[in-house]
Structure 1
Amino acid sequence: MDWKPDRMLSKPIYKQISSYFEEMISKGVYPANEMLPSERTLATQLQVNRSTIKSAYEELEALGIVERVKGSGTKVSSNIWGISHKRIPNWGRYVEDGSFLPNIPMVQKIRTITQEPNIVNLASGELSPHLMPTEAIREIISTQPFSENLGYDHPQGNEELREALASFVHKYRCIKTDSESILITSGAQQAIHLIVECLLKPGDAIAIENPSYSYSLPLFKTAGIRTYLLSVDEQGANPEELISLHKKHRIRMVFLNPSYQNPTGTSLSTVRRERFLALSSELGIPIIEDDPYGITSYSGKMNPALKSLDKDGNVLYISSLSKVVSSGLRIGWVIGPQAVIQRLADAKQQIDFGHSIFPQWVAKTFLNSTYIEEHIKSLRVELSQRRDELDVSLRNFLADKISYHLPEGGIHLWCKLNQRMNENKLIEESIKNGVAFVPGKILGNMEESYVRFTYGREDLGRISEGIYRFSETIKRLEYEYKQTNRK
């Protein structure tokens, strides 16, 4: 046998072997009823363990391709080409071979575990149900007549909603725009996806913040986009690093989350905002501004949106109602040049024929109501109270073990543990102890011992309980570490 498994591939050896024999059988190299090499012989030929061959043959048997004959060995199924034979698709291979990459396992686990009621959820970016204007929306639905056309709406989204959003971003983010320059999307995530798919091509280089929520998004790798990192400090991302990155890699786009950034909670200083815009114009690099938290400023005093300072049309502005009203409405939007908006709208039409009319009607009616202003004021107060509870809890339970920058808006607090700890072990043990958070490595920080606590999902009282459970986990791991070193 000339073929050998490739040990450099991420695909398990036994799966490579089963795939090889499936292909050979389909080509007729091994016809029906022919015996395959024995497990011992094949293991010697391929220089693998016999258990690896056993696993490969078992997979082929599960697919109905081979039969295991006790005392004789493994042979190609006698009726593999027969009319009555039914072959089961190898769904595992389809799952592995799909072009759209899955989330990393740790992200999948955190998202699953946070659905359990006994877990204090300091990981999810969703708002608590108590922070959503549920009663106001119920009032709207019960008293306002729904008279919209239930067919497909405008490719860019409902025009009345786009007009309401134009007024909304002008009032709260000082952005001057009109309905023709807005595209309604299924949350901000779809907006990012459309931009990547429509405006970039495989091999293009982009700059993102480090750490950054964008680092955890598989869609960049799926699209073949190369990502390069801009360091973040207490004044936000450093624009000067963009110059060197562009010289080396020809950066095509910059993705920024400038207001109460995820995960650090920092805001880009006004000086740096102006510098990024100047570099954008100088280098011809568009900026994608992701602004889900801009209006959550606890004091009500907000940093200007990059888009509000953009005089040259270099910024594509993304936001949504997910972090300030309701994630379940799935209302996001992109604001940009009309040619770009029309291109993205065409792609969205190909994907889903446009957004559902009912959530658009709810969002439009809510934004045009008297409820919205009171809700935002209330949200700012509620989030600041949760931030304060998290701050007090960290000082009470982990005063000498942790350091952090206190955010003035948003829902995230970025912490550095003063003692180096294995983040995988820390999250595993914390989950066992009933609290979830996001480890720093998921968000691009390659140093150990960074964690992100998100305080918008849990209610007052539960946040303190979560930090207590986290502190108890830290103590136990420290004790185990000391005991191990003594031995």
Structure 2
Amino acid sequence: MWKPDRHSQQPLYEQIADHLEQRISYGEFPPGSLLPSERKLAEQLGVNRSTVIMAFAELRSTGIIESRTGSGTRVSATKWGVAPKHTPNWKRYSEGGGFLPNLPFMRKIREALAHNPELIDFASGELAGDLAPNDEIAALMSEHRYTSYLGYDNPQGYIPLRQALVSYLEAHRNIRTTEASVLVTSGSQQSLYLITQCLLSPGDAVAIEDPSYCYSLPMFQSAGLRLFRLPVDRYGIDPDDVRALYKKHRIKMVFTNPNFQNPTGTVLAAERRKRLLDVASELALPIVEDDPFSLTSYDGAPPSPLKAMDEIGSVLYIGSFSKIAASGLRIGWMVAPRAIAERLADARQQMDFGLSVIPQQVAAQFLNSAYFEPHLERLRMQLLFKRDLLVESLHRELGDLIRFEIPQGGLHLWCKLTPDIHDGKLLEEAVRRGVVFVPGSVYGSDSGFVRFTFARARTEDIPSGIARFAEALRATTDG
């Protein structure tokens, strides 16, 4: 006789409900037939009666069974009729499929922010509204007449935007390319998705940084990739670790964020950059360089990207407007060999027939306008002010309870808490007190690390937000 699997992650009552539903669908229990009593079924299955009660409640909620006092529990006659009919088990569908949901902590953070928009937000990795070039973009939209053609555009991206990106990349990132090698995407995340889905195969081994934003993206596991970690120290990853992973696991690709790395804020040392490119050349190993934060460099002298040093074409370079202008524009880009750009453009066309042309036109105008440089300068100053305010607040509220390296660019501060903590309990306490952050375990680190994003919270909320976090930390450690 069938028994529920006590080692499964699926609750026992759900297993029982699914099993009964299957037997009903197979006709073992026809419409109107009486089911075993809760007590008898509990004895047969070796579970508590309360577990069977919950299973019956699950089936009643979908109309599969019905219970009447004194008459027991029967298979619904009205739902099944003469020819049994079934409502799809949407719960089972929602838990299936190959594309995994976001990590539980990230879902919890999103739900908390949706439920209470007044939370002080140190979690969202985007610019606050007052840091975005809202007035500049509004002015551009009033100054320029955008296309009246609203059909599908070039799947590789709006040509004037790709031309503007070619000029931007040479002027600001010392990257020389052509519009044929530029693919416009819906932000950096779509670039990563296209790479994992189109250039790699299930079972392939890839290297990601540890800790890493990539670790928080289930898209890598959804693609069936095997992830191997490259530890990040104060100078970034060690190229010798790349060589070691290649020898041991035959990694197919390296994913790195060398400038103001997310979440640590580190910058890959110049000597390591050269060695990394040498290793990639020696092993014919592609490098995916995600570079969203470079232009936030507070001194106005952003570190050079790997792509600018890439003489043989080892690097796929990813950039985005999200961290320097406005995430809502959903404009990102990839610089890749022409064959790769065309391959990924073809795949993206199958997904959405290409991006909306209007945001691409706005982005092209903004890059070419006199507004762009002053916006970057103002953005750097405001981010620096917020960073310093966050650092001052952490020193005042937590003192020796927290350690961190002060980043010279980017939006994040990576911190190590000295007391032993439970990530989940600390997050719950923080949300209860009106503040939210990202636990370090989301990025693959051990418990005791946190990432504070200072770009999203309002300036006036940063000190009180850290005070609330300190209260939550003390409540967690005291408990």
Scaled by the length of structure 1, what TM-score is found? Answer: 0.94
Aligned to 1:309: 309
- What is the root-mean-square deviation in Å for CA atoms of aligned residues? 1.7
Describe the shift of the 1:81–1:432 C-alpha distance in structure 2 as closer, same or farther (beyond 3 A). Answer: closer
- Post-superposition offset of 1:276: 1.5
**CA-CA distance at 1:434 after TM superposition:** 1.5
SS of the residue 2:142 aligns to: helix
| Letter in structure 2 aligned against 1:338 | R
CA distance in 2, matches of 1:85, 1:435: 51
Map of 1:392 onto structure 2: 392
| Partner SS, residue 399 of structure 1 | helix
Tell me the residue number matched to 1:101.
100
Counterpart AA for 2:12: I
Letter in 2 for 1:179: E
Cα deviation, residue 79, structure 1:
4.2
Partner amino acid, structure 2, of 1:283: L
State the Cα deviation string for residues 354-409 of structure 1 (Å, max 9, x = none).
00011001001111101111111111111111111111112222222111011000
Aligned to 2:456: 457
Looking at structure 1, the residues matched to 248 and 265 of structure 2 have their Cα atoms a distance apart, in angstroms, of: 29
Q: Which residue of 2 aligns with 1:153?
A: 153
Give the letter for the 1:380 counterpart: R
Q: Secondary structure at the match of 2:329?
A: coil
2:31/2:81 contact within 8 Å kept: no
Residue type of the alignment partner of 2:4: P
The one-letter code of the counterpart of 1:452 is R
Superposition map of 1:374-453 within 5 A: 374-446=374-446, 448-453=447-452
Distance 2:221 2:47 in 1: 32
Q: What is the CA deviation profile of residues 37-80 of structure 1, one whole-angstrom value per residue up to 9, with x for unaligned ones?
A: 22222212221111111222222222222222322322222345
What letter corresponds to residue 95 of structure 2 in structure 1? E
Give the aligned residue type for 1:408: Q
How many Å apart are 1:85 and its aligned residue? 7.7
Q: Matched residue of 1:97: which SS? A: coil
Matching residue of 1:76 = 75
Contact kept in structure 1, 2:127 and 2:456, CA below 8 Å:
yes
Rounded to whole Å, the distance in 2 between the matches of 1:109 and 1:69 is: 38
- Normalised by the length of structure 2, the TM-score is 0.96
Please tell me the residue identity of whatever aligns with 2:337: P
Residue 466 of structure 1, CA deviation:
1.3
Taking the TM superposition and a 5 Å limit, the aligned residue runs for 1:76-475 are 76-82=75-81, 87-115=86-114, 116-147=116-147, 149-446=149-446, 448-475=447-474
SS of alignment partner, residue 228 of structure 1: strand
Q: Distance in 2 between matches of 1:100 and 1:432?
A: 31
Q: Which runs of 4+ in 1 moved over 6 A?
A: 83-86
Letter of the structure 2 residue corresponding to residue 159 of structure 1: I
Does the CA-based 8 Å contact 2:209-2:230 persist in structure 1? yes
* Structure 1 CA distance for aligned equivalents of residues 25 and 84 of structure 2: 14
* Alpha-carbon displacement from aligned partner over 1:328-354 (angstroms, at most 9, x marks no partner): 000011110111111111111011000
Q: What is the aligned-residue identity percentage?
A: 50
2:34 paired residue number: 35
Contact preservation (8 Å) 1:265, 1:412: yes
Q: CA separation in 2, counterparts of 1:86 and 1:47?
A: 31
- CA positional deviation for 1:436: 1.2
Letter in 2 for 1:222: S
Tell me, yes or no, if the aligned pair for 1:414 and 1:451 is still in contact at 8 Å. yes
**Amino acid aligned to 2:405:** H
- Structure 1: 5+ residue runs without aligned partners? 482-487
User: Partner of 2:9 in structure 1?
Assistant: 10
1:238 Cα deviation after fit? 2.0
Would the aligned equivalents of 1:148 and 1:357 in 2 still touch at CA under 8 Å?
Answer: no
8 A Cα contact 1:270 1:303, kept in partner: no
Alpha-carbon displacement from aligned partner over 1:165-203 (angstroms, at most 9, x marks no partner): 111111111111111001111111111111111011111
Task: Tell me how far 1:287 sits from its aligned partner.
Answer: 0.8
- Structure 2 CA distance for aligned equivalents of residues 66 and 273 of structure 1: 65
Tell me which moved more, 18-27 or 469-478.
Answer: 469-478
Deviates more, 1:112-121 or 1:264-273: 112-121
1:461 CA displacement: 2.5
CA contact (8 A) 2:257 2:290 kept: yes
Give 1:83 shift.
Answer: 6.2
Counterpart CA distance in 1 for 2:471 and 2:80 is: 61
Partner of 1:237, secondary structure, is coil
Structure 1 CA distance for aligned equivalents of residues 345 and 409 of structure 2: 32
Secondary structure of 1:236's match?
coil
Kindly state the Cα deviation for residue 275 of structure 1 after the two structures are TM-superposed: 1.6
Asked if structure 2 preserves the Cα contact closer than 8 Å seen for 1:63 and 1:87, the reply is no
Q: CA deviation at 1:148?
A: 5.0
What is the match of residue 476 of structure 2?
Answer: 477
Alignment partners' CA distance in 2, 1:32 and 1:468:
61
Residue 332 of structure 2 aligns with an amino acid whose one-letter code is G
Q: How far is 1:113 from its partner?
A: 2.5
Measured in 2, the distance between the counterparts of 1:83 and 1:300 equals: 75
Q: Give the Cα–Cα distance (whole angstroms) in 2 for the partners of residues 111 and 456 of structure 1.
A: 17
How many equivalent pairs are there?
Answer: 478
1:216, distance to aligned residue in structure 2 (A): 0.9
Please say if residues 293 and 323 of structure 1, whose CA atoms lie closer than 8 Å, have aligned partners that are also in contact: yes
Deviates more, 1:8-17 or 1:250-259: 8-17
Cα distance in structure 2, aligned partners of 1:245 and 1:7:
37
1:485 matched residue in structure 2 = none
Q: Give deviations 1:265-285, integer Å, cap 9, x for gaps.
A: 111111111121111111222
Contact 2:294/2:410 (CA < 8 Å) preserved in 1? yes
- Cα 1:181–1:91 shift into 2, 3 Å: same
Aligned counterparts of 2:397 and 2:172: Cα–Cα separation in 1:
37
* Aligned counterparts of 1:80 and 1:390: Cα–Cα separation in 2: 59
What amino acid does structure 2 have at the position aligned with 1:199? L
Q: Is the 8 A contact 1:6 1:13 kept in 2?
A: yes
The residue type paired with residue 38 of structure 1 is S
Measure, in 2, the Cα distance between the counterparts of 1:239 and 1:6: 45
Aligned CA distance change for structure 1 residues 89 and 262 (closer, same or farther; 3 Å): same
CA contact (8 A) 1:63 1:89 kept: no
Native 8 Å contact 1:122 1:458 kept in 2: yes
Q: How far has the Cα of 1:99 moved from its partner?
A: 2.5
Which deviates further from its counterpart, 200-209 or 238-247? 238-247
